[in-house]
């Protein structure tokens, strides 16, 4: 007696694809993108957030809102892997100082600040990188990197 024309291996493949779709949907619904630690607010016009860039992976990107007309300025700071390993901290610090200088320039319209302002900007960058807020930001990046890795794995292991 034949119950169905569907071959048993076809049922297994359909179940695996269905499971992968359910897993992917769960990951997307429970993604860390709404985490309040994912965006690092430096001041009222400067924010740092995680962004996935093709070919590079997860990156920390800063956005400084322009006071006048125009979009503002977006600055790539570092990719997550380099920051997580500690190898990218010096470059991240340099870029963070650059972002704070841009924010100062947008606020005051002064192209180059006096030395005491530059010293204050450097101190602000150092304080930020030593803060608990920055540690939470790195942890949210780790969660987001894991999230993207899981989705990538599901796409590669169960192509649609």
The beta-carbon contacts of 155-159 under 8 Å, at least 24 apart in sequence, are 155/24, 157/20, 158/16, 158/17, 158/19, 158/20
Residue 23 lies in a domain: no
Residue 60 lies in a domain: yes
**Which pair of tokens denotes residue 12?**
């297994």
- Residue 15: strand, helix, or coil: helix
Residue 55 lies in a domain: yes
> In 10 A of CB 50, how many CB atoms?
24
Residue 88 lies in a domain: yes
Range of 66's domain?
32-157
Give the CA-trace dihedral at 26, 28, 34, 35, to 10 degrees: 70
In order of 57, 75, 86, 109, 128, the CA distances from 136 in angstroms are 20, 21, 15, 32, 12
pTM higher than 0.75? no
Element (H or E) spanning 59, and its range?
A: strand 57-64
Residue 58 lies in a domain: yes
Digit-by-digit pLDDT tens for the chain (160 residues) are 444 444 444 444 454 444 445 444 544 444 444 456 789 998 888 999 999 887 778 899 999 998 877 788 999 999 888 988 888 899 999 999 999 999 999 888 887 878 899 999 999 999 999 999 999 999 999 888 888 878 878 878 877 6
Number of independent structural domains in the chain: 1
Residue 132 has a pLDDT of 94
- The b/e string for 71-99 (b: 16+ C-beta within 10 A; e otherwise) is eebebebbbbebbeeeebeeebbebbbbb
């Amino acid at each position: 007696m034949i119950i169905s024309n569907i071959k048993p291996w076809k049922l297994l493949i359909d179940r695996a694809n269905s499971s992968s779709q359910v897993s992917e949907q769960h990951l997307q619904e429970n993604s860390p993108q709404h985490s309040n630690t994912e965006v690092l607010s430096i001041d009222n016009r400067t924010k740092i957030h995680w962004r996935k860039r093709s070919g590079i992976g997860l990156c920390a990107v800063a956005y400084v809102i322009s006071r006048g007309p125009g979009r503002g300025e977006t600055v790539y700071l570092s990719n997550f892997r380099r920051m997580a390993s500690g190898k990218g901290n010096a470059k991240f610090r340099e870029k963070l100082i650059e972002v704070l200088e841009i924010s100062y320039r947008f606020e005051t319209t002064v192209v180059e600040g006096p030395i005491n302002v530059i010293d204050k900007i450097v101190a602000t960058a150092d304080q930020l990188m030593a803060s608990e807020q920055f540690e939470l930001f790195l942890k949210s990046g780790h969660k987001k990197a894991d999230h993207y890795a899981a989705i990538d794995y599901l796409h590669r292991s169960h192509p649609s």
